[in-house]
Amino acid sequence: MVEVVVSEAKLWERLGKLPKVSLATLPTPLEPLPRISQLLGIQIFVKRDDLTGLAFGGNKTRHLEFGIGQAISQGCDVIINGAAVQSNYCRQTAAACAKLGLKCALVLRRLPQVEALKVEPQGNLLLDYLFGADVRFVEPDEDLELAKERVADEYRNKGHKPFIIRHPDVSGGYGYLVCLLELVEQCRQMGIEPTHIIHSSSTPTQAGLIIGVKALGLDWKVIGISPLKREGVHQRIAELTNLVAESLDLPVKVMPEEVLFTMDFVGEDYGIPTPEGIEAMKMMAQLEGIVLDPAYTAKAFAAIIAMAKSRRLTEEHTVIFIHTGGTPALFAYQPVLVEAFGAQLALGLPCK
Ligand SMILES: Cc1ncc(COP(=O)(O)O)c(C=O)c1O
């Protein structure tokens, strides 16, 4: 047990002082995965953040509660976000804006490495249009931050007050500190003592979880599984964690070498499904009735399967997999999945 720095009540109190809007249905369920636990020989639970409630759910609902809260507190009327074409963050931003009566502009980058994801108005992109977002496209090599600035200028020239969502941003850290506090309460009620929290991570989600674990002195390993290859992510996560901790006046400091994060499950590239990810999707779907997406959650769950197979995780461990959402993207991947995995997709696991 590590030293407790701050009580749960204090963390809730500090979070309660931040500008926030209510978008999510919380707490999300914490459920056992009995059939997969039996198959893999570890105790495994899933935190259903795919059920956060806003427009097919996902981790970004939590980020947006604080991000848009800040925008509204500054009197902004247009929210600008940008990411890859099948971005879950952008889809949820568009939905949140629709719900709150704000204008939403999205700058989307086509993925050159995945043919079907270049143009098809499917999955998240279809939903962006449905939620009435002003959708713009940029080329793969264009600077997204500059593109977002250009769109913001356009809106300013028309008399609006735009708010740009930056990546990474403290709001996701706040959102996942809330999630960690929920988990602590749910584990207490259900009598669960987790050893590992494992999830798809690009930065803010993991930052929030790390702060909670450190501040409460929990002996839980938070392991982030990357959906993409990028330099310096340990540093990036540590920096954001420390920034969030500082803004909440918490005496928590994290060094990059303490961050547990791996790019081992990305495969060829961001957004390209892996055979191990497909196996994870099939296992979750066919043993537990839960949908994973090929870009994020399937690769994260593939890591758990690999760790169980190599006995890095054993029957002595209790793992919580945070399902961070992303499920609408599945439909955009239909051609890619069928082309790459064809009949393999249709094959059932041997179910008793
Ligand atoms: C489904 C899904 N899981 C995980 C992540 C990573 O979340 P974060 O950027 O907060 O680390 C994302 C980011 O877009 C996502 O869409």
pLDDT of residue 351: 44
Instruction: Tell me: do 214 and 84 sit in the same domain.
Output: no
Instruction: Tell me: do 218 and 99 sit in the same domain.
Output: no
Instruction: Tell me: do 139 and 235 sit in the same domain.
Output: no
Residue 61: strand, helix, or coil: helix
Nearest ligand 1 atom to alpha carbon 202: 11
Nearest ligand 1 atom to alpha carbon 206: 11
pTM (two decimals) = 0.96
Answer yes or no: is 144 within a domain. yes
Q: What is the CA angle 227-232-236, rounded to 5? A: 85
Nearest ligand 1 atom to alpha carbon 204: 10
What is the distance in A from the centroid of ligand 1 to the CA of 201?
6
Residue 80: strand, helix, or coil: strand
Instruction: Tell me: do 263 and 181 sit in the same domain.
Output: yes
Instruction: Tell me: do 253 and 316 sit in the same domain.
Output: yes
**Is 87 a residue of the active site?**
yes
Answer yes or no: is 1 within a domain. no
Answer yes or no: is 72 within a domain. yes
**Count of domains observed in the chain:** 2
pLDDT of residue 118: 60
At 172-224, the pLDDT tens digits run: 999 999 999 999 999 999 999 999 999 999 999 999 999 999 999 999 999 99
Residue by residue, pLDDT tens for the chain (352 residues) are 567 789 999 999 999 999 999 999 999 999 999 999 999 999 999 999 999 999 999 999 999 999 999 999 999 999 999 999 999 999 999 999 999 999 999 999 987 777 656 667 899 999 999 999 999 999 888 999 999 999 999 999 999 999 999 999 999 999 999 999 999 999 999 999 999 999 999 999 999 999 999 999 999 999 999 999 999 999 999 999 999 999 999 999 999 999 999 999 999 999 999 999 999 999 999 999 999 999 999 999 999 999 999 999 999 999 999 999 999 999 988 888 887 777 677 655 444 4
* Partners of 78 in beta bridges: 103, 162
Active-site choice (7, 22, 37, 87): 87
What is the distance in A from the centroid of ligand 1 to the CA of 158?
32
pLDDT of residue 316: 96
Instruction: Tell me: do 50 and 146 sit in the same domain.
Output: no
pLDDT of residue 34: 98
Nearest ligand 1 atom to alpha carbon 168: 9
Answer yes or no: is 3 within a domain. no
Instruction: Tell me: do 64 and 52 sit in the same domain.
Output: no
Given 115, 135, 164, the domain boundary residue is 164
Answer yes or no: is 269 within a domain. yes
- Looking up tokens 């094959």 gives 347
pLDDT of residue 337: 83
What is the distance in A from the centroid of ligand 1 to the CA of 93?
13
Instruction: Tell me: do 102 and 159 sit in the same domain.
Output: yes
Residue of 47, 48, 198, 205 to mutate, ligand 1, most atoms within 8 A of C-beta = 205
What is the distance in A from the centroid of ligand 1 to the CA of 50?
11
What is the distance in A from the centroid of ligand 1 to the CA of 225?
10
Strands 43-47 and 30-32: antiparallel
pLDDT of residue 40: 97
Instruction: Tell me: do 64 and 199 sit in the same domain.
Output: no
pLDDT of residue 99: 98
Largest CA distance in the chain: 63
Q: Residue 216 sits in which domain range?
A: 8-57+169-346
Instruction: Tell me: do 20 and 129 sit in the same domain.
Output: no
Q: Whose CA is nearest to atom 4 of ligand 1?
A: 200
Answer yes or no: is 352 within a domain. no
Nearest ligand 1 atom to alpha carbon 324: 3
Given 130, 164, 198, the domain boundary residue is 164
DSSP 191-233: T---SEEEEE-SSHHHHHHHHHHHHHT---EEEEE-SS--TTH
In what order do the strands lie in the sheet containing 260-262?
A: 30-32, 43-47, 318-322, 196-200, 221-225, 260-262
CATH at 102: 3.40.50.1100
Instruction: Tell me: do 256 and 286 sit in the same domain.
Output: yes
In terms of residues, how long is the chain? Answer: 352
Q: Which two tokens stand for residue 240?
A: 């954001």
What is the distance in A from the centroid of ligand 1 to the CA of 1?
29
Answer yes or no: is 2 within a domain. no
Q: In whole angstroms, give the CA distance from residue 133 to residue 130.
A: 8
What is the distance in A from the centroid of ligand 1 to the CA of 323?
10
Interacting residues of 79 by C-beta distance below 8 A, sequence separation 6+: 68, 71, 93, 96, 97, 102, 103, 104, 105, 162, 163, 165
Instruction: Tell me: do 138 and 240 sit in the same domain.
Output: no
Given 143, 164, 185, the domain boundary residue is 164
Q: In whole angstroms, give the CA distance from residue 201 to residue 199.
A: 6
326-338 exposure pattern, b = at least 16 Cβ within 10 A, e = fewer: bbbbbbbbeebbe
Answer yes or no: is 335 within a domain. yes
- DSSP state letter for 256: G
Residues with CB under 6 A from ligand 1: 58-59, 88-89, 172, 200-206, 293, 296-297, 324-326
